[in-house]
Amino acid sequence: MQGFDQTSTAFGTGTDPGSGGRPRRRAVRRTAVVSAVLAAGLLLTACADSDGKGGDGKKGPSAISHIHGVEVHPRDGKLYVATHNGIYTPGADGRPELVGDRKDDFMGFTLGEGGTFLASGHPAPGRDAPANLGLIESTDTGRTWKDRSLTGEVDFHSLDHAHSTLYGYDSTNGLLRVSKDGTDWEKRSSLKALDIAVSPTDPGTVLATTESGISRSTDGGKTFAAGNGTVMAFLTWAEERSLYGVDPAGKISVSADGGKTWRQTGTAPGGQPQALTAVDARRVVVATQDGVYESTDGGAAFTKRLDVTSGGGH
Protein backbone atom coordinates (compact mmCIF):
# COMPACT_ATOMS: atom_id res chain seq x y z
CA MET A 1 0.00 0.00 0.00
CA GLN A 2 1.47 3.33 -0.86
CA GLY A 3 1.36 6.81 -2.31
CA PHE A 4 2.18 4.56 -4.76
CA ASP A 5 5.64 3.54 -4.97
CA GLN A 6 6.10 0.37 -3.10
CA THR A 7 8.28 -0.95 -0.58
CA SER A 8 7.36 -3.43 2.13
CA THR A 9 5.71 -4.49 5.39
CA ALA A 10 6.47 -6.64 8.34
CA PHE A 11 6.05 -9.71 10.43
CA GLY A 12 4.03 -10.19 13.50
CA THR A 13 2.26 -12.63 15.69
CA GLY A 14 -0.46 -12.15 18.19
CA THR A 15 -4.12 -11.74 18.90
CA ASP A 16 -6.38 -8.77 19.30
CA PRO A 17 -7.53 -8.07 22.84
CA GLY A 18 -11.06 -9.33 23.32
CA SER A 19 -10.91 -11.45 20.19
CA GLY A 20 -11.08 -14.74 22.00
CA GLY A 21 -7.49 -15.52 21.04
CA ARG A 22 -8.05 -15.17 17.31
CA PRO A 23 -4.96 -14.17 15.34
CA ARG A 24 -4.81 -10.44 14.89
CA ARG A 25 -5.15 -9.01 11.47
CA ARG A 26 -2.56 -7.77 9.25
CA ALA A 27 -1.81 -4.26 9.54
CA VAL A 28 -0.60 -1.95 7.44
CA ARG A 29 0.40 -1.77 4.10
CA ARG A 30 2.36 -0.36 1.25
CA THR A 31 2.01 2.86 -0.29
CA ALA A 32 2.04 3.15 -3.93
CA VAL A 33 -0.08 2.36 -6.74
CA VAL A 34 1.24 4.84 -9.17
CA SER A 35 0.15 3.90 -12.58
CA ALA A 36 -1.48 0.74 -11.54
CA VAL A 37 -3.80 0.19 -8.80
CA LEU A 38 -4.13 3.93 -9.32
CA ALA A 39 -4.99 3.36 -12.91
CA ALA A 40 -5.40 -0.30 -12.42
CA GLY A 41 -1.77 -1.31 -12.64
CA LEU A 42 0.98 -1.95 -10.12
CA LEU A 43 4.39 -0.35 -10.06
CA LEU A 44 6.76 -2.25 -7.81
CA THR A 45 9.69 0.05 -7.39
CA ALA A 46 11.86 1.22 -4.58
CA CYS A 47 11.13 4.35 -2.64
CA ALA A 48 12.58 7.59 -3.77
CA ASP A 49 14.10 9.92 -1.24
CA SER A 50 11.66 12.09 0.64
CA ASP A 51 12.35 15.31 2.46
CA GLY A 52 11.95 14.08 6.04
CA LYS A 53 13.67 17.21 7.28
CA GLY A 54 12.81 19.89 9.72
CA GLY A 55 11.64 19.43 13.25
CA ASP A 56 13.21 19.63 16.65
CA GLY A 57 14.84 16.35 17.60
CA LYS A 58 12.35 13.61 18.34
CA LYS A 59 9.44 15.86 17.50
CA GLY A 60 10.48 15.69 13.89
CA PRO A 61 8.58 17.54 11.18
CA SER A 62 5.18 19.14 11.69
CA ALA A 63 3.86 16.70 9.11
CA ILE A 64 5.04 13.32 7.87
CA SER A 65 5.13 11.89 4.35
CA HIS A 66 5.72 8.68 2.41
CA ILE A 67 3.68 6.47 4.72
CA HIS A 68 4.09 2.71 4.43
CA GLY A 69 2.06 1.37 7.33
CA VAL A 70 -0.18 2.23 10.27
CA GLU A 71 -0.84 0.27 13.46
CA VAL A 72 -2.57 0.75 16.81
CA HIS A 73 -0.75 -0.89 19.70
CA PRO A 74 -2.98 -3.31 21.64
CA ARG A 75 -1.51 -2.42 25.04
CA ASP A 76 -1.59 1.35 25.12
CA GLY A 77 -3.83 2.17 22.17
CA LYS A 78 -1.17 4.44 20.63
CA LEU A 79 -1.05 5.01 16.92
CA TYR A 80 2.24 4.21 15.16
CA VAL A 81 2.98 5.27 11.60
CA ALA A 82 5.80 3.77 9.52
CA THR A 83 7.30 6.18 7.01
CA HIS A 84 10.20 6.63 4.62
CA ASN A 85 12.06 8.36 7.46
CA GLY A 86 11.28 6.39 10.60
CA ILE A 87 8.31 5.46 12.75
CA TYR A 88 6.21 8.21 14.31
CA THR A 89 3.45 8.49 16.88
CA PRO A 90 1.31 11.52 17.79
CA GLY A 91 2.95 13.50 20.59
CA ALA A 92 1.16 15.31 23.41
CA ASP A 93 0.88 18.38 21.19
CA GLY A 94 -0.48 16.38 18.26
CA ARG A 95 2.69 16.68 16.22
CA PRO A 96 4.51 13.60 14.90
CA GLU A 97 7.04 12.30 17.40
CA LEU A 98 9.87 10.08 16.18
CA VAL A 99 10.04 6.70 17.93
CA GLY A 100 13.61 5.73 18.72
CA ASP A 101 16.41 7.17 16.62
CA ARG A 102 16.26 5.03 13.46
CA LYS A 103 15.16 6.95 10.39
CA ASP A 104 15.15 3.92 8.14
CA ASP A 105 12.74 3.55 5.26
CA PHE A 106 10.19 1.28 6.96
CA MET A 107 8.47 -0.11 3.90
CA GLY A 108 6.75 -2.94 5.71
CA PHE A 109 5.31 -2.69 9.20
CA THR A 110 2.98 -4.76 11.38
CA LEU A 111 2.49 -5.91 14.94
CA GLY A 112 3.44 -9.32 16.26
CA GLU A 113 2.85 -11.24 19.44
CA GLY A 114 2.46 -9.01 22.48
CA GLY A 115 2.68 -5.91 20.31
CA THR A 116 6.11 -6.71 18.89
CA PHE A 117 6.99 -4.50 15.93
CA LEU A 118 7.99 -6.32 12.77
CA ALA A 119 9.16 -4.49 9.68
CA SER A 120 11.17 -4.46 6.49
CA GLY A 121 12.58 -1.84 4.17
CA HIS A 122 15.85 -0.03 3.61
CA PRO A 123 18.45 1.64 5.85
CA ALA A 124 18.62 5.41 6.26
CA PRO A 125 21.15 7.17 4.01
CA GLY A 126 24.65 6.81 5.42
CA ARG A 127 23.83 3.90 7.74
CA ASP A 128 26.10 0.88 7.28
CA ALA A 129 23.58 -1.83 6.45
CA PRO A 130 22.46 -3.89 3.43
CA ALA A 131 20.10 -2.19 0.99
CA ASN A 132 17.32 -4.63 1.88
CA LEU A 133 16.71 -5.08 5.61
CA GLY A 134 14.86 -8.37 5.34
CA LEU A 135 12.74 -8.95 8.45
CA ILE A 136 13.60 -6.84 11.50
CA GLU A 137 12.01 -6.85 14.95
CA SER A 138 11.55 -4.50 17.90
CA THR A 139 10.29 -5.61 21.31
CA ASP A 140 10.28 -2.09 22.79
CA THR A 141 7.81 -0.33 20.45
CA GLY A 142 10.41 0.74 17.93
CA ARG A 143 13.11 2.14 20.19
CA THR A 144 15.63 -0.54 19.24
CA TRP A 145 15.68 -3.14 16.48
CA LYS A 146 17.38 -6.45 15.67
CA ASP A 147 17.71 -8.43 12.46
CA ARG A 148 15.50 -11.52 12.23
CA SER A 149 16.03 -13.03 8.79
CA LEU A 150 16.69 -12.53 5.06
CA THR A 151 18.99 -9.58 5.72
CA GLY A 152 20.28 -8.18 2.44
CA GLU A 153 18.00 -10.49 0.45
CA VAL A 154 14.40 -9.31 0.70
CA ASP A 155 12.28 -6.18 0.89
CA PHE A 156 8.82 -7.17 2.11
CA HIS A 157 6.07 -4.91 0.82
CA SER A 158 3.28 -6.53 2.81
CA LEU A 159 3.17 -8.89 5.77
CA ASP A 160 0.30 -10.50 7.58
CA HIS A 161 0.41 -12.73 10.61
CA ALA A 162 -2.34 -15.21 11.37
CA HIS A 163 -2.66 -18.77 12.66
CA SER A 164 0.88 -18.69 14.09
CA THR A 165 2.16 -18.15 10.56
CA LEU A 166 3.72 -15.17 8.86
CA TYR A 167 2.72 -14.48 5.26
CA GLY A 168 4.98 -12.01 3.50
CA TYR A 169 4.95 -10.53 0.02
CA ASP A 170 8.57 -10.46 -1.12
CA SER A 171 8.63 -7.56 -3.58
CA THR A 172 12.28 -8.16 -4.42
CA ASN A 173 11.50 -11.51 -6.01
CA GLY A 174 7.77 -11.19 -6.67
CA LEU A 175 6.56 -14.07 -4.55
CA LEU A 176 4.73 -14.99 -1.39
CA ARG A 177 6.86 -16.36 1.43
CA VAL A 178 5.56 -18.10 4.54
CA SER A 179 7.27 -18.62 7.90
CA LYS A 180 6.28 -20.19 11.20
CA ASP A 181 9.03 -18.54 13.22
CA GLY A 182 10.14 -15.49 11.25
CA THR A 183 13.49 -17.16 10.55
CA ASP A 184 12.93 -20.03 8.12
CA TRP A 185 10.84 -19.22 5.06
CA GLU A 186 8.97 -21.32 2.52
CA LYS A 187 8.61 -19.92 -0.99
CA ARG A 188 5.09 -20.23 -2.30
CA SER A 189 3.37 -18.60 -5.27
CA SER A 190 4.89 -16.06 -7.65
CA LEU A 191 2.64 -13.05 -8.15
CA LYS A 192 2.57 -9.33 -8.73
CA ALA A 193 0.70 -7.74 -5.84
CA LEU A 194 0.52 -4.62 -3.76
CA ASP A 195 -1.00 -5.96 -0.54
CA ILE A 196 -2.02 -9.23 1.06
CA ALA A 197 -4.52 -10.19 3.77
CA VAL A 198 -5.10 -13.55 5.45
CA SER A 199 -8.45 -14.77 6.72
CA PRO A 200 -8.59 -14.64 10.54
CA THR A 201 -10.50 -17.95 10.59
CA ASP A 202 -9.11 -19.93 7.65
CA PRO A 203 -5.32 -20.24 7.23
CA GLY A 204 -5.77 -21.33 3.64
CA THR A 205 -7.47 -18.16 2.45
CA VAL A 206 -5.07 -15.44 1.35
CA LEU A 207 -6.10 -12.39 -0.68
CA ALA A 208 -3.83 -10.18 -2.77
CA THR A 209 -4.57 -6.81 -4.38
CA THR A 210 -3.60 -6.74 -8.04
CA GLU A 211 -4.12 -4.43 -11.01
CA SER A 212 -7.00 -6.59 -12.23
CA GLY A 213 -8.78 -6.98 -8.90
CA ILE A 214 -8.48 -9.15 -5.84
CA SER A 215 -6.64 -12.43 -6.33
CA ARG A 216 -7.62 -15.31 -4.04
CA SER A 217 -5.73 -18.33 -2.75
CA THR A 218 -7.45 -21.19 -0.95
CA ASP A 219 -4.30 -23.24 -0.26
CA GLY A 220 -2.30 -20.87 1.91
CA GLY A 221 -0.74 -18.95 -0.96
CA LYS A 222 0.61 -21.87 -2.96
CA THR A 223 -1.57 -20.86 -5.89
CA PHE A 224 -3.67 -17.78 -6.67
CA ALA A 225 -6.61 -17.34 -9.00
CA ALA A 226 -6.48 -14.45 -11.45
CA GLY A 227 -7.48 -11.13 -9.94
CA ASN A 228 -11.02 -10.01 -10.65
CA GLY A 229 -13.82 -7.83 -9.37
CA THR A 230 -13.27 -4.70 -7.32
CA VAL A 231 -9.79 -3.16 -7.59
CA MET A 232 -8.48 -2.38 -4.11
CA ALA A 233 -5.21 -0.76 -3.08
CA PHE A 234 -5.05 -2.17 0.47
CA LEU A 235 -6.88 -4.77 2.53
CA THR A 236 -7.11 -5.44 6.26
CA TRP A 237 -8.98 -8.41 7.76
CA ALA A 238 -9.82 -7.68 11.37
CA GLU A 239 -12.64 -10.17 11.94
CA GLU A 240 -14.25 -12.91 9.88
CA ARG A 241 -17.11 -10.73 8.63
CA SER A 242 -15.16 -7.48 8.59
CA LEU A 243 -12.71 -7.47 5.70
CA TYR A 244 -11.97 -3.82 4.89
CA GLY A 245 -10.57 -2.46 1.67
CA VAL A 246 -9.69 0.95 0.29
CA ASP A 247 -9.63 1.59 -3.44
CA PRO A 248 -7.14 3.88 -5.23
CA ALA A 249 -9.55 6.83 -4.88
CA GLY A 250 -9.88 6.41 -1.10
CA LYS A 251 -13.31 4.77 -1.00
CA ILE A 252 -13.67 2.52 2.06
CA SER A 253 -15.66 -0.71 1.70
CA VAL A 254 -16.33 -3.71 3.93
CA SER A 255 -17.02 -7.31 2.99
CA ALA A 256 -18.82 -9.86 5.15
CA ASP A 257 -18.07 -12.76 2.81
CA GLY A 258 -14.32 -12.65 2.39
CA GLY A 259 -14.21 -10.22 -0.52
CA LYS A 260 -16.84 -11.75 -2.79
CA THR A 261 -19.18 -8.79 -2.34
CA TRP A 262 -18.54 -5.31 -0.96
CA ARG A 263 -20.53 -2.53 0.71
CA GLN A 264 -19.12 0.98 0.56
CA THR A 265 -19.13 2.69 3.95
CA GLY A 266 -17.54 6.03 3.13
CA THR A 267 -14.54 7.83 1.66
CA ALA A 268 -11.34 8.64 3.47
CA PRO A 269 -10.43 12.36 3.33
CA GLY A 270 -7.28 13.45 1.57
CA GLY A 271 -7.31 11.48 -1.65
CA GLN A 272 -5.00 8.63 -2.62
CA PRO A 273 -4.49 6.06 0.18
CA GLN A 274 -1.06 5.11 1.48
CA ALA A 275 -1.85 2.54 4.20
CA LEU A 276 -4.79 0.89 5.96
CA THR A 277 -5.46 -1.09 9.12
CA ALA A 278 -8.52 -2.18 11.07
CA VAL A 279 -8.36 -2.64 14.83
CA ASP A 280 -11.75 -4.35 15.01
CA ALA A 281 -15.06 -4.46 13.15
CA ARG A 282 -15.62 -0.71 13.57
CA ARG A 283 -12.27 0.99 14.15
CA VAL A 284 -10.33 1.72 10.98
CA VAL A 285 -7.20 3.81 10.40
CA VAL A 286 -6.21 5.00 6.93
CA ALA A 287 -3.34 7.18 5.73
CA THR A 288 -3.94 9.37 2.68
CA GLN A 289 -2.10 12.18 0.93
CA ASP A 290 -2.93 14.81 3.53
CA GLY A 291 -3.40 12.96 6.80
CA VAL A 292 -3.70 9.88 8.95
CA TYR A 293 -7.38 9.44 9.74
CA GLU A 294 -9.25 7.25 12.21
CA SER A 295 -12.86 6.06 12.05
CA THR A 296 -14.81 4.39 14.86
CA ASP A 297 -17.91 3.70 12.78
CA GLY A 298 -16.55 1.45 10.07
CA GLY A 299 -15.37 4.16 7.74
CA ALA A 300 -18.40 6.46 7.61
CA ALA A 301 -16.75 9.39 9.41
CA PHE A 302 -13.09 10.16 10.08
CA THR A 303 -11.02 12.22 12.51
CA LYS A 304 -7.54 13.40 11.54
CA ARG A 305 -4.79 12.07 13.81
CA LEU A 306 -1.67 13.39 12.02
CA ASP A 307 -0.89 15.76 9.19
CA VAL A 308 0.70 14.34 6.08
CA THR A 309 2.42 16.26 3.28
CA SER A 310 1.25 15.52 -0.24
CA GLY A 311 4.58 14.18 -1.42
CA GLY A 312 3.06 10.78 -1.86
CA GLY A 313 4.14 7.47 -0.47
CA HIS A 314 6.99 5.19 -1.26
Give the pLDDT confidence of 217-229 residue by residue, as tens digits. 999 999 999 999 9
Q: Reduce the DSSP state of residue 25 to 3 states and report it.
A: coil
307 contacts 269 by C-beta, under 8 angstroms: no
Confidence of residue 278 (pLDDT cuts 50, 70, 90): very high
The more confident residue out of 48 and 265 is 265
State percent of the chain over pLDDT 90: 70
* Alpha carbon distances (Å) from 243 to 72, 105, 180: 17, 28, 24
What local confidence, expressed as pLDDT, does residue 60 receive? 58
What local confidence, expressed as pLDDT, does residue 185 receive? 97
Give the up-direction half-sphere exposure of residue 43: CA atoms within 13 A in the CB hemisphere.
Answer: 17
Q: What's the rounded Cα separation, in Å, for the pair 196 and 105? A: 20
What local confidence, expressed as pLDDT, does residue 159 receive? 84
What local confidence, expressed as pLDDT, does residue 279 receive? 94
Distance of CA 253 to the CA centre of its chain: 17
pLDDT tens-place string over residues 240-260? 999 999 999 999 999 999 999
Confidence of residue 237 (pLDDT cuts 50, 70, 90): very high
Q: Reduce the DSSP state of residue 186 to 3 states and report it.
A: strand
> What mean pLDDT comes out for the span 92-104?
93
The more confident residue out of 5 and 169 is 169
pLDDT of 232 above 70: yes
254 contacts 286 by C-beta, under 8 angstroms: no
Confidence of residue 112 (pLDDT cuts 50, 70, 90): confident
What local confidence, expressed as pLDDT, does residue 289 receive? 94
> What mean pLDDT comes out for the span 200-215?
96
What local confidence, expressed as pLDDT, does residue 44 receive? 37
Mean pLDDT, the chain, whole residue set: 83
pLDDT of 300 above 50: yes
111 contacts 118 by C-beta, under 8 angstroms: yes
What local confidence, expressed as pLDDT, does residue 53 receive? 41
Q: What's the rounded Cα separation, in Å, for the pair 147 and 309? A: 30
Q: Which of 238, 310, 313, 214 is closest to 269 using CA atoms?
A: 310
pLDDT tens-place string over residues 22-74? 334 443 444 343 344 444 344 333 344 444 443 344 455 788 999 999 999 98
Q: What's the rounded Cα separation, in Å, for the pair 212 and 40? A: 6
pLDDT of 137 above 60: yes
What local confidence, expressed as pLDDT, does residue 164 receive? 85
Confidence of residue 108 (pLDDT cuts 50, 70, 90): confident
Confidence of residue 310 (pLDDT cuts 50, 70, 90): low
What local confidence, expressed as pLDDT, does residue 311 receive? 52
pLDDT of 13 above 80: no
Q: Which of 169, 131, 122, 126 is closest to 152 using CA atoms?
A: 131
Q: What's the rounded Cα separation, in Å, for the pair 205 and 220? A: 6
What local confidence, expressed as pLDDT, does residue 76 receive? 85
Sign for the pseudo-dihedral over CA of 126, 46, 156, 252: positive
